[in-house]
Amino acid sequence: MQVERLADLIATAGRPPKLAYVVPNSQNPGSTTMSLAWRGLLLDLAGRHGFLILEDDPYGLLYFDRPSPPSRGSIPAAIPSASGSSPDFLP
């Protein structure tokens, strides 16, 4: 997800999304991890525009060379989450 573009997309559409689905850690196919700055921006936008964030984090614990990024539980916002259930929702 290109979080930096989300504010412009909301302004262009004239309304926010109802839900943002994100895979913040080791997202396929490039194994990218969303930075803490982008996570903070996403939380800020969700708070300002009133949409939910669904975090699917199947790879959040698979860090061998560095500590895992903070979990959603350590961020002061209610975010529904799933761990590896994307095939259940999006076959």
The helix (run of H) or strand (run of E) holding residue 55 is: strand 52-56
Note down pLDDT in tens along the chain; length 91 residues.
Answer: 788 999 999 999 999 999 888 887 766 666 677 778 888 898 889 889 988 888 777 666 666 666 666 655 555 555 555 555 555 555 4
Nearest to 69 by CA among 35, 38, 20: 35
Q: What is the pLDDT at residue 84?
A: 58
* 50 Rama sector, left if φ>0, alpha if ψ -120 to 50, beta otherwise: left
* 26 Rama sector, left if φ>0, alpha if ψ -120 to 50, beta otherwise: left
The amino acid at residue 84 is: G
